[in-house]
Structure formats: C-alpha cells, structure tokens
Amino acid sequence: MSNLEIDRERLWSALMETASIGGTAKGGVCRLSLGEFDRQVRVWFVAQCEAVGCTVTIDGMGNIFARRKGRDDTLPPVGFGSHLDTQPTGGKFDGILGVLAGLEILRTLDDAGYETAAPLELVNWTNEEGARFSPSMMGSAVFAGKYRLEDARARSDKDGITVGSALDGIGFAGPAPCGGRRYGAFLELHIEQGPLLEASGTEIGIVTGVQGIRWYEVEVTGRDSHAGTTPMSHRRDAFQGAAQVAVALDALARRHGPHAVATIGICRVEPGSTNVIPGRVDFTIDLRHPELAVLDTIEAALGETIAAVGAETGLEFEVTPVQAAAPVRFDPRIIGEIRTAAESCGFSHRDIVSGAGHDAANLASVAPTAMIFVPCRDGLSHNEAESIAPDQAGAGADTLLRAVLALAG
C-alpha cells in the first residue's frame, strides 16, 4: 500500500466543518476545554470514528480513544492524535489538524479495505491548551501518570468551575481508567506555530524534541492608597513591583538566547481604579528553553530578582510553580520512520525542535513517540488569523499515514 494517499478534499472539508463549532466573527475558533462547543465537537468526533467501525472508549479525564482492530489485536496499537480544544481567540488548525488527519487515515484505510497488523488508535486529549483550566496538556499528563486524576479534576477555572464538574456537565467523564494503555508507538501531527518551516520553504518538519516549559503564578501584595495624595516615596505600588520583575525577566531570557523565551501572559491589577494605587497584582510567567540546566539558571536568577525587588520596595511576592515539563527528546526509531515517510512522499523536510508544548511530550515518557510539523502562514498561531494551505494539511496527513503504516506493519 505504498501508493495509498489520503483524500485531501475530504480532510479539508472536515477542517472547515469543525471550524464552525465555536467559530468566531474574525474567522477563528473559540472552543474552550469542556465547554459547550467542546462538547459539540466531541460528539461529532465520536460519531465519525464509529462510522468507520472504530470502538470508542473514554477515560475519567475525558480523553477519547478510537480503536481500529488489527490482524493481530494482541499487539500494542500504534497511536496518533492531538486535541480539539482551542485558545479563546484560536485558529482552525492548532491541535485539530492532528485529530482530523488521524480520522482521515482511518477513513482512507476503511475505503481501501486495508487492515494493519497492529491495531490503530486515534486519540483526542483533554485540555491541551490550558486556556480555561491550568495546567496545559492536562489529559495526556494524567494518562502518563504525571498528575493524579483527582488533582486534575479538582482544578478550577476563573469562575470556580472544576474540571470534574465540567466533565460531568458535558457528559464526557468516561468509565475507563486513566493510563495503562500500552502503545507500540505514538505520533502527533501539528502545525509548527513558528516561522522556521515557512521561511526555509520546507514542507515537513521532523520534530526531534520539545523544549522544557515552566509556568508560575505570581502574587504581589502592596498597599492601596490614593493616587493623588500619596507621595512617590510613600507608595507600595504592587504594579510597579510586577513591572520591575517583567523587565528583568525579559532581560534574563534575552541574555540566555536565542532559544530562551519568557512571557507574562496574564496580569490582573487590583483594585482596578484609575485613582487608586494598586495594592495587589497577580500575573503569570511562561518560561521555556530546550536545556534543563539553562531553565534552572534562569529560574534561580528570577528568584534572586524577585527577592531584591521585594526588599527594595517593601512589596510581598508569592511565587507558585504551576507546571514543570522537562525538555523531551523523541524516539530515534519513530523519527527515522517519519523521515522515511516524508522522503517516500517526495516532501522536503528538516529536523526541528518544538518551542511549544504538546501532548506528545507527555506520551514520550510512556511510549516511543515523535511529531510531524507542517508550516503555518507567517508562523502565526494562537490567533484567529492562523492559516495553512490545503496542500500543507494533506502533506502532513500523507506523511503521518506512511509512518503509521510502517509502524503498524
């Protein structure tokens, strides 16, 4: 079946159909994890998988597994997939490309009447984005044993709704245990979310690893007071303390470049009045680097900076680590199969390290794992203007198909 190809028009049609579930006026998608639109796309996904003869199982984290039998069903399956949830102002392709390309593989094999030696399993992982419930990549982390199910279910969004109650509310808290499923290999197709492939004119990125990620929540406590009557020398301005840390964090990342990146993505100022000096600020830090030692160095320097700002300003800082994902190196054998698949399809390719976190990084601790990237326009993602071409989606899906067939016998 070396000449087997996916139906590119059918894949693109599925991408456009699902983009309408939570579609925004600006052409993006807002499909937050475990909300009503996530429920709708999950129902759609389960129906499509069952339509091609798959057995669908849902675990206690809401992860969805669609299994296609192999000739020898005792063999560990070859798994592939990604996620269906999006950012609040997300695009049409982040995550869902990997899920729908997997669905297209199942449809293609069904059309051809082709049976692999090992079973195949398409997966949708719960709450990859972390936009509603922190931390990100939650479903795959529970599956891999990095978080306890009860702890993940207890996490809440800004409105106090827990993961557990949201799962129960949309009817996707399944009976299957989390984890314990054995994979012979796991692959994830994803848009690059960066500019390297497009800039180099490369069709396929062969992802050799994922850089380390650390998330923190920081609370700064000062003192509310009148903006007009409090001299600068008498202020304990929580925002100014947060601003000093932000500037220092930016300098730290640049000093450890070019691979170090640091971001403050959320900042809440209280009491939030024009003429009141802020007495409290809460903000987040996202810190990333492909080397563990560099992450440790930046983290230590950040701690020293926060202590110095607190001592100088009289502000109180409380730093809470939220997530720590170590750098990941993917399996050389799976990487080799992806490279062979891209070459057999005639696609240009290059090795690349992912700057973003992905469910595959969690799977790498329990199964041989690797990823495939396709370019996205201007490297833009987590944005309603996120865009790829139909041929790029097709190239990624065909590469995934060839690799899956090789691994599944």
Walk along the chain (409 residues) and give the pLDDT tens digit of each residue.
558 999 999 999 999 999 999 999 999 999 999 999 999 999 999 999 999 999 999 999 999 999 999 999 999 999 999 999 999 999 999 999 999 999 999 999 999 999 999 999 999 999 999 999 988 999 999 999 999 999 999 999 999 999 999 999 999 999 999 999 999 999 999 999 999 999 999 999 999 999 999 999 999 999 999 999 999 999 999 999 999 999 999 999 999 988 899 999 999 999 999 999 999 999 999 999 989 999 999 999 999 999 999 999 999 999 999 888 889 999 999 999 999 999 999 999 999 999 888 999 999 999 999 999 999 999 999 999 999 999 999 999 999 999 999 999 8
Q: Which residues contact 355 (CB under 8 A, 6 or more apart)?
A: 193, 194, 211, 261, 288
- Name every residue whose Cβ is closer than 8 Å to that of residue 161 and which is 6 or more positions away in sequence: none
Whole-structure pTM value: 0.84
Amino acid symbol at 362: N
Name the strand (E) or helix (H) holding 231. none
Q: Which fold has domain 8-211+327-408?
A: Aminopeptidase (3.40.630)
Polymer length in residues for the chain: 409
Percent of the chain that is helix, strand, coil (3-state, to 5): 40, 25, 40
Looking at the domain that runs over 212-325, which CATH code has it been given? 3.30.70.360
Residue ranges covered by each domain of the chain: 8-211+327-408, 212-325
What tokens were used for 372?
């495939």
Residue pair 329/295 in contact by the 8 Å Cβ criterion: no
Angstrom distances, CA of residue 205 to CA of 60, 196, 326 = 33, 9, 21
H/E stretch holding 55 reads strand 55-58
Residue 354 contacts residue 135 (beta carbons within 8 Å): no
